Amino acid sequence: MINLPENELTVAFSASETTVLSQPNFWRRAGRSLLHDPVALCSFAFILLLTVVAVFAPLIAPYDPLRQFSNGLSFVGAPVAPNGHFLLGTDASGRDVLSRLIFGARVSLLVGVVATGLASLIGVVIGTVAGYVGGVTESILMRFTDMVLSFPILLFCVALIAVTGPSTRNVVLVIAFAYWTYLARVVRGQVLSIKEREFVNAARTLGVGHIKIIRKHIIPHLIPTIIVYGTLGVATSILIEASLSFLGIGVPLPQASWGEMISEGQQYFQSAPWLLVAPGVALILTVLAFNLAGDWLTDLLDPAVQEMGS
């Protein structure tokens, strides 16, 4: 059987990797590479900024994101355009768009990071067990992965939310449950090649236990992959969260989230385009930053890909 996406990924992250994270000059090399790559530098700076904004949202936001200002609506009851008082204008309920945007960053980052973390955990465990143990266990785990992968990811999330009910926790769980499959496949492919390497054989010959071999000789070699897929996964998770919120089944109201803001703004876009532009740009920049950071990490951590890309 051929599975194209899987082959694709195994090629991209072949085990011929020579990167050693604990290598003394690794961090220096990483730093130098970052300084020579303004795009990546900007991406990391943006992610850092976003994190600060999200963590300190109550201190940074000019207003309470839920407060409906009496002067937040024009005399015909329409949203107010950006002005000195409301820097990014107000929405249809007279709430400050900038403050909602800042609190929305919290939701996006939280959901993105937690969902990806959870997905990585599941993916790494299942992929490692499948690749290391092999045989029937591998067949069962990978067929199960195939089945979950057969559902279109967004529709799958939407349907799962529909049966479990919308809540922030469920959004995180559902995204994690849909995304782990990608990592599981890649990790399995890598474990298959790592476990054939001589140092694993050497450890087995010494009589080192399987658990310890996995912990000491396999997992450390997966870290570059996990970092790269984790970064790209945050981008994907943020997009899915925004899509779910846009469809009205994401993070529950009245909590501000970018997807929900776009969804609300949709009705007023003819008269109040800033309602679409602000959250849209925030979303694009965030996802873009994570994608670019992921690209840079791929180049840094995997010479095989670097070779291909240059």
Partner 1 sequence: MSFTLQPGETLGIAGESGSGKSSVARALVQLTRPTGGTVSLGGAPVTNLKGQRLKRFRRRMQMVYQDPYDSLDPRMSVSDAIGEALSVRGLPKTEHAAQVAQLLERVKLPATIAQRHPNQLSGGQRQRVSIARALAVNPEIIICDEAVAALDVSIRAQVLNLLKDIQHDTGVGYLFISHDLSTLRFMADHVAIMYVGRIVEYGTSEEVFSNPQHPYTRALIAAVPSVTRRGERRLKLSGEPPDPGNPPSGCPFHPRCPEAVETCRTERPELLTIGDAQKVACHVVQWGREKTPKTEVTA
Partner 2 sequence: MTAWLLRRFLQMLLVIFGVVTLAFVFAYIVPANPARMVAGPQASPAAVASIAHQLGLDRSVWSQYVSFLGRILHGNLGVSFALQGRTVAGEIWLALPYTAVLAFGGILWEIVIGIPAGIIAAYRPRSVVDRFATFGALLGLSAPPFWLGLMLIYFLAYKVSWFPLNGVGHPLIWYMILPSFTLGVGGAAFYSRMVRTTVRQVLRSPFIEFARLKGMPERTILFRHVLRHALTPVVTMLGMDLGYFLGGVLIIESIFGIPGVGQLAYSSISTLDVPMITGTVLVAAVFMVFMSFVVDVAYTFIDPRVRLNVGK
Binding site for partner 1 (CB under 8 A): 18, 20-23, 197-199, 201-209, 216-217, 220-221
Nearest residue (CB) to partner 1, 15 versus 247? 15
Rounded to a whole number of angstroms, the minimum distance from the CB of residue 154 to partner 2 is 6
Residue 46's nearest CA partner among 297, 230, 215, 292 is: 292
By a kind-dependent CB cut-off of 5 to 8 A, residue 235 interacts, out of partner 2, partner 1, none, with partner 2
* Window 252-281: residues binding partner 2 (CB under 8 A): 259, 262-263, 266, 269-270, 273, 276, 280
By a kind-dependent CB cut-off of 5 to 8 A, residue 202 interacts, out of partner 1, partner 2, none, with partner 1
Nearest residue (CB) to partner 2, 4 versus 206? 4
Query: In this chain, which stretch among 65-73, 94-102, 217-225, 287-295 interacts with partner 2, using CB under 8 A?
Result: 287-295
Nearest residue (CB) to partner 2, 125 versus 154? 154
Query: What tokens appear for 168 in the block?
Result: 């922030």
Rounded to a whole number of angstroms, the minimum distance from the CB of residue 184 to partner 1 is 22
By a kind-dependent CB cut-off of 5 to 8 A, residue 35 interacts, out of partner 1, partner 2, none, with none
Could you tell me if 206 and 216 are in contact, meaning their C-beta atoms sit under 8 angstroms apart?
A: no
Among 73, 183, 194, 242, binds partner 2 (CB under 8 A): 242
Rounded to a whole number of angstroms, the minimum distance from the CB of residue 18 to partner 1 is 7
**With left for phi above 0 and alpha for psi between -120 and 50, is residue 177 left, alpha or beta?**
alpha
Beta-bridge partner residues of 79: 73
Could you tell me if 262 and 16 are in contact, meaning their C-beta atoms sit under 8 angstroms apart?
A: no
Angle at which helices 168-194 and 4-12 cross, to 10°? 70
By a kind-dependent CB cut-off of 5 to 8 A, residue 204 interacts, out of partner 2, partner 1, none, with partner 1
Among 19, 74, 193, 291, binds partner 2 (CB under 8 A): 291
The reply to whether 247 sits near partner 2 by the rule CB under 8 A is yes
Residue 34's nearest CA partner among 282, 229, 301, 305 is: 301
Residue 73: φ, ψ to 5°: -125, 145
Collapsing DSSP states into helix, strand and coil, what is residue 96? strand
| Cα–Cα separations (whole angstroms), residue 70 to 6, 49, 88, 294 | 56, 31, 16, 44
3-state secondary structure 102-168: HHHHHHHHHHHHHHHHHHHHHHHHHHHHHHHHCHHHHHHHHHHHHHHHHCCHHHHHHHHHHHHCCCH
By a kind-dependent CB cut-off of 5 to 8 A, residue 69 interacts, out of partner 2, partner 1, none, with none
* Window 82-141: residues binding partner 2 (CB under 8 A): none
Residue 254 to residue 142: CA distance in whole angstroms: 40
Collapsing DSSP states into helix, strand and coil, what is residue 90? strand
Rounded to a whole number of angstroms, the minimum distance from the CB of residue 217 to partner 1 is 5
Residues at the contact surface with partner 2, assessed by CB under 8 A: 1-5, 8, 143-144, 146-148, 150-152, 154-156, 158-164, 235, 239, 242-243, 246-249, 259, 262-263, 266, 269-270, 273, 276, 280, 283-284, 287-288, 291-292, 295, 308-309
